[in-house]
Amino acid sequence: MCLAAVTIGQSERFPIVLASNRDEFFARASQPLAWWRPSDGAAPILSGRDLTGGGTWMGLNAAGRLALVTNVREPGRQLVASPSRGELVLQCLSDLRADLAALATTPRNGFNLLTVDLAADLGEQPDRPIGEWVSNRPAVQCRVIGRGAFGLSNASLDTPWPKVRTLKQRLTRAVDRHHELDALIGELFAALLDPLPALDAELPQTGVTKARERQLSSAFIRIDGGESGAYGTRCSTVVVVEVAAGGRTVHVIERSHDESGHEAGMQTARFALPLQG
């Protein structure tokens, strides 16, 4: 996953909303969003599944804990024997007491790990911590998050890359504007599927060529195959916590995309998870 934005406490109807894109080589095999067990006897999680590394880029458990991971862009630095970063998500979802800062001390390729407690009742405890962010690059960093809007790509939390700023802005506007679930979801997918690149003057400098920075600067990415094969946005996911008369429900909607940039066989997965409390 390479782009995500989340709002916490902005709306009473939709107290937590997340929009995210997973960018990856199309040759890397994966399975779409579904409930599955990471190991025999383990509690099930709702996520996609990386069939190469065995982990996942984003998922949640029945208790309403969400975790996601992104790579940190570091051209020229690659630990060949590094454990899969997708394992971090599984560890967070299987152990609710996992120490994120401790997880970041294991030698591993650069990552951001973000957790959010979707079951948090912001009305009863408006100032409580709702999640946590940790990164291992350039050094171990950790930050508790509460109410607000946050964005993440392939640098630190809230690094103002154009696509991070834009997605945060579009997310906050959509949450303010909509009081109907499907209208909110539709606007968020429109933001995630935006292929417009940033202006050259706004491009970050991360050690790749300007042409590649431009290709990677849009929310929705599609790069034709070269020696490494086609790369781009493999799936887009929206997570909405909705408060209604019957209680709180987490809605998770994922759209898978093929190499041409179209929705892959119209693969859309949608799940609703009632929250306790």
What string of DSSP letters covers 168-207? Answer: HHHHHHHHHH--SHHHHHHHHHHHHT--PPPPGGG---SS
Please report, as a single letter, which amino acid is at residue 116: V
Q: Report domain extents, the chain.
A: 3-274
Higher local confidence (pLDDT), 14 or 269? 14
For residue 74, name the pLDDT band (cuts at 50, 70, 90). confident
Among 215, 224, 171, which Cα is nearest to 197's?
Answer: 215
* Cα 184–chain centre separation: 18
pLDDT for residue 23 is more than 50: yes
pLDDT in tens, 181-198: 999 999 999 999 999 999
Q: Which residue has the tokens 């911590």?
A: 129
Q: For 158-175, what is each residue's pLDDT tens digit? A: 999 999 999 999 999 999
Report how far Cα 120 is from the mean position of its chain's Cα atoms: 19
- The mean predicted confidence, pLDDT, of the chain is 91
* Domain covering 3-274 assigned CATH 3.30.70.270 in the classification: no
